[in-house]
Each structure stands twice: as C-alpha cells, then as structure tokens.
Amino acid sequence: MSARILVVDDLAPNVNLLQVKLQAEYYDVLTARSGFEALEIAQKERLDLILMDAMMPGMNGFEACKRIKSSPDTWHVPVIMVTALEETKDRIRGLESGADDFVTKPIDDFNLMARVRSLLRLKMVTDQLLSHTGHTLSNSRDLLETIERQKGKILLVEDHEFHAEKVAKPLRERHHVIVEKDPVKAIRIAKSGVDAIVVSLVSSSFDGLRVCASIKFNEESRDVPILVIGDPDDENRFIRAYDIGINDTVMRPIEVQELKARVQTLLRRKFYADSLRENFNENLEMVVADPLTSLGNRRYFDRAIEPLFDSLETQATPFSIMIFDIDHFKRVNDILGHDMGDQILKEIAARLVTNMRAIDIVARYGGEEFMIAMPGTNAADALIAADRVRALIAGTPVFVDGEALQVTTSVGVAEVEAGEKLRDVFKRADDALYKAKQAGRNKALPAQLNKAA
C-alpha cells in the first residue's frame, strides 16, 4: 500500500542516490536504467510516480515520457523530469513531452520531496475521482481533460508592482488573476472563493507566512491550494510555510515555465477535488466524513485500513497505527468554551494531514482523538514520524481569535502484528497513549508487543 515510485537513470550513482532519499521517506522504489526498461516496468507494475532523467542513451527521457503519456495504461501516472540546472530548453521540452513537473541537478532534497508530495497528492485525488465516478483508465481521459480545461481564478498576494506583473502575465494566458497587495483584502478575497493562491514571502509590507496561516485557518479558504514565492537561501521560511499547510513553492528568480507548471498542478488537484465532491453520493459522505474537521470519521478509518490488513496477511507488508490525543482538551472546553475547542480541533486536524505522507490514512476517531495508519511502516519508523509531528504541534502555537495557545498532544504507536484485528492493535496503541499521558503528556510512546502472538 506504500506509494510506488519508479526512478529512471542510466547512471547507477544517480539511481542509488534517489533511491536512498525516497526510501528514507518510506516510499516503495523501483529502478530502471533506460527509457526502454522504464516502459516495460510501467506496463507491468502499478506506479504512483515516475522520476525520469532527461538525458539517457538510446531512448532519452523525453521520448520515454511521451510514450508513457500516450499509453492508455500509463497516461495518468505523474512524471517528474530530472534536467540539468542550466538547460531551460530541456525543462520546456520535458513539459511539452507530457511531464507534470521537473527537478534540476544537483538535486536539492527539500525541492525534490516537495515535488514528490505534490504530485502524489494529485495522483491520489485522480484515483479517487475515477473510482467515485465509475470511470476506468480507458474511458476517463476525456473527462479529466475537460476538467483541466477550466479557467481558474487565481489570487496573487504581492505588494511589488514589477514582481506582481511578472507572475500575473504568464498565468493570465489561461486563467483569471486577481492581484492584491493588501493582506487583509487578500484574505477576504480568498474566503469569497478562488481556485489557487500565490503568496510572496519577500514582501516589504506584510508577512507572507502570516497571510498563509490566516488563509489556512479560515474554514472558507482552508482547502484552496497555496503556492509561495521566495528566495532560494530562505529555506527556513519555506519549511515553516509547509508546516502551516501550503502546497508548493517557487524560488526566485522565477522561470515562467516552472511557475505555470506548478500552478497548473495545483489547479488540476483543486478541479479534480471539486468534481469529486460533486460526484460523491451525499449520503455516503455523511456516513464517512467528520463535519467539523473534514477528515474521515471512525467508520471511514475502519473501512480504509481493511486493505492494509489484507496486505499484511498475503504479502507480509507491515503497517502501523498511531493515536493522537490532545492534552487537557476537556479543560480547554471548560475554560475557553466549545467554540474555541472546535477551532483547536480543526487546526490540529489540518496539521496532522499536512505533515503526514499522502498515502497515510488520517481520521478523527472521536472527541479529541485522531487515528493515523501508516502503510508500509514498521513500529520504529512510525514512532519517529509520530514524535516528529508531536514536536511540531507543540512547537507552533495555535492562533484562535488572535490569541496564541500552546497545544500539545500525546501519542500511542503500535505496529500491527500478524493475526491481529483492529480492536487488538487499537488496545495496544491506546495503552501506550495512556502511558504517555501518565508520563507527563506531550510524548509519543510505543506499544508493547502482543504477548499472545
């Protein structure tokens, strides 16, 4: 059930480097040493993403990408083209060949993972859309292309007139762009309904991170994808932006083709998600969705992890679950009121979703408890992930009505063992959560092994 990524490069060191980077993020990685081999693997294996080197002997990456995108079996798989830093024409050629995005050599870990996560989320939404509309790969291409041809409404938040025009002009070739330099007005526009938002992190008159945080906090604009623009040497601000919940980044100096590709990916995901919501059976949505946080609920979680139990039994594919519980939440409700408590629940839910992998299953299980399933992940790696997210939540205040609140969580983590049912592993994780609470809270602890196993 882990996201499966194919790495294609004729040079073994390049393949090994990318393989190590991606496996460190718990992705299942396949490799190919030529365009021909990539085509063979793409036809045989279920792939979620392809990282394709542009320059290879025999069949280069451009031709391989073109064939993948023209095949009825593989056209839907996102492709990231890997190009030389100085070759702008190669990046343009890659996009013309059907590539969804690109990274440049030498490969920067931060940008690589940003591209990978963005396109994996797009692939996930695409698969969900096809599943819920009853379409197959063979008869869905026209549907998706029709959706993609929609004209998007893009909000650009930038106070520098020259920079604003440089961004807005190429985007206006296909979409309607609203430029706003006043952050208060921009937040109001975001709440009124747009399809994507581009925010400058280098503004002289407002804090771009605060604008992003406000947009993500408001229920009316929370689901709108955000792309931020900043300087390449300001990685810390980019990291903070991702913590807040933004979706993608572009570094200055801006390259037009890169900007258009990034924005188009965000719009595709937004348009697909909108279509998915329109096609959902309303009764089913009421059954499986938590109305407060927009996460799946307990019934959704129980259904979603059934394939993970099947994979554990048939293929010995490990997976783990974790229970996040907000510390002292009853006291928050009693002192600050339920409206304030609801806002905290929404914020914690948003942080959990944006800081877990695209393949992880996140649900509100009840009250202040959140359940997460991590496919393809053993107990040790799940504990590392849980502790990372726990620390992030504790280290970043939650802003409610302009007031900064320190919120912490406790976490219980358990790897599912062979023969276990959900109730068994849930009890072990819940016991670990209880011990974390007893040990002073704001901790992530592992569950004990099942003694009966």
Tell me how long the chain is.
453
Select from 193, 315, 171, 321 the least CA-distant residue to 250. 171
Structure tokens at 382: 């799940």
Angle among Cα 446, 450, 451 to the nearest 5 degrees reads: 125
Q: What angle do CA 119, 137, 224 make, to 5 degrees?
A: 35
In whole angstroms, what is the distance from residue 73 CA to residue 116 CA? 21
User: Among 158, 368, 415, 420, which one carries the catalytic annotation?
Assistant: 368
CB contact at 8 A, 9 and 50: no
Spatial CA neighbour of 420 closest among 315, 312, 324: 312
Q: In this structure, are residues 51 and 66 in contact, taking their beta carbons and an 8 Å threshold?
A: no
Cβ atoms 405, 312 nearer than 8 A: no
Region of 101 on the Ramachandran plot (φ > 0 left; ψ -120 to 50 alpha; else beta)? beta
Residue where the block lists tokens 């059930």: 1
- Is 368 part of the annotated catalytic residue set? yes
Positions marked catalytic: 368
